Amino acid sequence: MSDIHAQIKDTVDQNDVVLFMKGTKSMPQCGFSSRVAQILTFMEVPFKDVNVLDSAEMRDGIKTFSDWPTIPQLYIKGEFVGGCDIITEMTLSGELDKALADAGVAFSKEAAEKIREHNG
């Protein structure tokens, strides 16, 4: 398992924002992964997507790496942020904006406001 953890760590360290998901951002394979990818895409957050369905080792490894049982998993600047429910809540509360801004990651504040406006 340490090889996959090293691979995950490299991916997380080399990209400001990484979404480990089922499928890809252009073709999500589950509703939860789709929701988080849509939020990030709508907010114009540049992010790397990692399809955990490509490898059983990756699918299992990400869960032990983060000690989090579900996918998707979002990382910002090397820090695990959460899964679908947490990211959705953070988006609606404005916490995701703050996390991205604090990490120096570019995003559309206007798009984030539209999400809150539409869901408020």
Residues 6+ positions from 24 with CB-CB distance below 8 Å: 49, 51
- Was 84 annotated as part of a binding site? no
Count the helices and strands in the chain (H runs, E runs).
6, 4
Question: Minimal CA–CA distance to 36: which of 46, 25, 52, 27?
Answer: 25
Contact 85, 76 (CB under 8 A): no
**Residues annotated as binding site?**
30
Sequence ranges of the binding site for [2Fe-2S] cluster: 30
